[in-house]
Amino acid sequence: MATTRKPSTPKTSAELKQQLEAARKKIADLERRAYAGELTELIAKTSIVADFKAVRSQLTAQISSGAIIVAIANAVGVKGVSVAAPAKKPRAPADPNKPRKPRKPKAV
């Protein structure tokens, strides 16, 4: 029983570039996860945490922690820092044609 294989075609330059970008993203994510413990220990040893709390306590307005972090990064000279919370998914409206389920009575 002979099987016929499709001959392999070499990848184009665009396909190789896409693979390279995907590999770079994976490496960056792996490095971030690999050094996360060391980074946490170094930050805990410094006064960054106390300074952050001091800045937050001195502010009278309700400013988010993300905005404070971005301002600190800009003051230090780190460019391109952005902190964004994921948007909440809106709840789907109830179907008016579907009957409501009766609630169970509370046990006393």
Per-residue pLDDT of the chain (108 residues; tens, 9 = 90+): 567 888 888 889 999 999 999 999 999 999 988 988 888 888 888 888 888 888 888 887 788 888 888 888 888 888 888 888 778 888 888 888 888 888 888 876
Of the CA atoms within 13 Å of residue 55, those in its CB half-sphere come to 16
Is there a contact between 104 and 91 (Cβ–Cβ < 8 Å)? no
Which structural domain range is residue 30 located in? 15-45
Residue 70 shares a structural domain with residue 57: yes
Residue 40 shares a structural domain with residue 58: no
Residue 56 shares a structural domain with residue 37: no
User: Distance between CA atoms of 33 and 40, rounded to whole angstroms?
Assistant: 11
Q: Indicate whether this model's pTM tops 0.85.
A: no
Calculate the CA 75 to chain-centre distance: 23
Residue 24 shares a structural domain with residue 37: yes
Residue 33 shares a structural domain with residue 52: no
